[in-house]
Structure 1
Amino acid sequence: MRGLFLDADDTMAAIFARLQRSGDPAVTVNRAARIAPEDLPRLLAGYDFVLDDHSALPTAALAACPALRHVIFLGTGARSYMNPEELAALGITVHTIKGYGDTAVAEHSIALMWAAARGIAAMDRGVRAGGWPRIPGVQLTGKTLGLIGFGGIAAEVARIATGSGMRVLAWNRSPKTAAGVSFVGLDTLLAESDVVSLHLLLTDETRGFLDAGRLARLRPGVILVNTARGALVDEAALIAGLEGGHIGHAALDVFATEPLPADHPLTRLANVTLSAHSGFLTPEANETLLQRALEIARGLCEG
């Protein structure tokens, strides 16, 4: 079997080369920041599997790739880039990789939470502009953190938050238990949490999960953290809540449209802290991610 790493940047290409070993499937590394859908049939011609980091793989384009049988998506959120069910109908299986960046994303969630609570981004902007803005912060010790969804990332967030003296609530679609975490109904979590952090997978059922109605049930002045997927939140309702002050601050690593357009309303709001979908980006997480991708590729060849 032959594979193509479709969209490797220099960092990922270097890690991938270091991890490859004798006898591994042959994988061509294509270094490209963005792949146009119309180029996919040409790029994927003759390849049995593809490693995809961040490129959209429209069903129509892959229908013109008769040799392709597997997509190894470098992460969990494949649905943001392709339709797995439609690809399955073409005979293409989509493989995702879970758990590789749980600690990295959890630490980023915590960092965004504290940055929002203490106004770090706003003070940084002000000082760089020659000012001296001293912004009153929120002390998080003793406050309540609500986790919507409770997988590996949320478990790591809970571990860090409980260690810093926060009360942790969680809601999950299926029953779970965890030390130091109180599992409650969604309405209770929305009403009682000083900080709400999203940790749901994006599916047809969770798209727009925090709609206008649920956002309105949040505790006034809440800090909302999202390192999961932008489409989990009704963006227009979020902006309205931020402008009206019901939502005190949003700390966001993910957006409905990425990269975030320069003139987007979120970029003009003072009570928003932004990062560029980078929660998972650490050397440790990247190495684990590519190691697991290679394990999947080896299994495909052996199978």
Structure 2
Amino acid sequence: MTFTLSAVASRTVSENPSTDTGAWRAVFVDANPTLSEVSSRLHRADDLPLTINRQPNITPAELPAALAGAPIAIVDHTHLPTDIARQCEGLKHVVFLGTGPRSYMNPEELADIGITVHTIKGYGDTAVAECAFGLMWAAARNFGRMDREMRAGNWLRSDALQLTGKTLGLVGFGGIAQELARLARGIGMRVIAWNRTPKTHEGVEFVELDTLLAQSDVVSLHLLLTDETRGLITAERIASMRDGAILVNTARGALVDEAAMIAALESGKLAHAGLDVFTVEPMPAGHVLTTLPNVTLSAHSAFRTPEANNNLIGAALDHCRRIVKTQA
């Protein structure tokens, strides 16, 4: 899938000026320490020059100077407004570390100004599925609240939902959902799914979205964020869910009407939410979700395992190599 985008960089960590790549060079604009190390390790002697900015909290306004005319930007989490992208002279390609650039930029607008965005799929399917599985368990057992209360000196004992024999509904059925289905079937859950295009998969029953929401004890979201999927889980759809259901989201926060989800959590319509993604990231201090006892929070870290990091950066560097090869 190809879009349009822009990115940033600052300091050179791994660079090979002797490589015969002409004017082509790349900047990793917002590398955290882990991804910096992986990038340096996987960057080859025959690759195009790579500058790694080790300041992951770079602001959009700092991007033009950080890129300094580089034609390729590698972007993990920095927002790239179109007006900033226009100021990034020479930028032609953005390699976005994931599948959801729309949370950080407007791909169509960027395409209109000649910047192509490359996305990376499949690098962390198992890692994200395991995170969703963990959030589901934590929600069902209320581990987060009991942990907080015990640290505060309170002996809170909580009744739990036994997941064996319950129904897991997967909204979207790509690689991550397939991995989660495998895990859930392993503990004896019934797995149903809805996908925007027809699919079949052993051991999974495909149903309409309304049927899935009505029948599922746990609903887990696994969709890309697009104009069609933004706000898909509306107040009306939340109301149609089974009373006391659990909602898990490791996809994109904007798939859900956040205000409606919060109201359902406060009323008890939703028993719990396990969330790795949010409408605004990083989550602002004092956000209402941090005050609710029936929410388990994870800081958009579902894919962050050594295996997934290696897959992710390896794929990003492969994108850079293909770009140079096709432009040579």
Higher alpha-carbon deviation: 106-115 or 265-274: 265-274
Q: What's the offset of the Cα at 1:112?
A: 0.2
Distance 1:204 1:188 in 2: 23
Q: What's the offset of the Cα at 1:45?
A: 2.2
Q: What's the offset of the Cα at 1:11?
A: 1.1
Q: Does 1:22 align with 2:22?
A: no
Distance 2:61 2:151 in 1: 43
Higher alpha-carbon deviation: 43-52 or 69-78: 43-52
- One of 37, 57, 60 as aligned partner of 2:80: 57
Distance 1:125 1:38 in 2: 38
Q: For each residue in 1:29-70, what CA deviation from the matched residue of structure 2 results, as whole angstroms up to 9, or x when unmatched?
A: 111121222212211222010000111111111111231100
Q: Does 1:281 align with 2:307?
A: no
Distance 2:77 2:115 in 1: 18
Q: Does 1:93 align with 2:116?
A: yes
- One of 45, 49, 57 as aligned partner of 1:34: 57
Q: What's the offset of the Cα at 1:263?
A: 1.2
Distance 2:285 2:155 in 1: 26
Q: Does 1:125 align with 2:122?
A: no
* Aligned residue in 2 for 1:191: 214
* Aligned residue in 2 for 1:270: 293
- One of 139, 152, 159 as aligned partner of 1:116: 139
* Secondary structure in structure 2 of the residue aligned to 1:121: helix
* Aligned residue in 1 for 2:192: 169
- One of 168, 186, 195 as aligned partner of 1:145: 168
Q: What's the offset of the Cα at 1:262?
A: 2.3
Distance 2:293 2:66 in 1: 43
Q: For each residue in 1:173-220, what CA deviation from the matched residue of structure 2 results, as whole angstroms up to 9, or x when unmatched?
A: 000001110000111101100000000100111111101110100000
Give ranges in structure 2 of 5+ residues lacking alignment: 1-23
Distance 1:175 1:302 in 2: 36
What percent of counterpart residues are identical? 62
For the 8 Å contact 2:29–2:56, the answer to whether it is kept is no
Higher alpha-carbon deviation: 104-113 or 124-133: 124-133
Distance 2:255 2:185 in 1: 25
Length, aligned pairs only: 303
* Aligned residue in 2 for 1:47: 70
For the 8 Å contact 2:64–2:89, the answer to whether it is kept is no
* Aligned residue in 2 for 1:8: 31
Q: For each residue in 1:247-274, what CA deviation from the matched residue of structure 2 results, as whole angstroms up to 9, or x when unmatched?
A: 1111111111111122111111111111
Distance 2:100 2:70 in 1: 23
Distance 1:81 1:36 in 2: 12
Query: Which amino acid is 1:122 matched to?
Result: R
Q: Does 1:291 align with 2:276?
A: no
Query: Which amino acid is 1:109 matched to?
Result: A
Distance 2:267 2:223 in 1: 26
Query: Which amino acid is 2:27 matched to?
Result: L
Q: TM-score, normalised by structure 1?
A: 0.98
Q: What's the offset of the Cα at 1:9?
A: 1.4
Q: TM-score, normalised by structure 2?
A: 0.91
Moved over 4 A (4+): none
RMSD of aligned residue pairs (Cα, Å): 0.8
Distance 2:43 2:65 in 1: 25
Distance 1:83 1:34 in 2: 20
Distance 1:124 1:297 in 2: 44
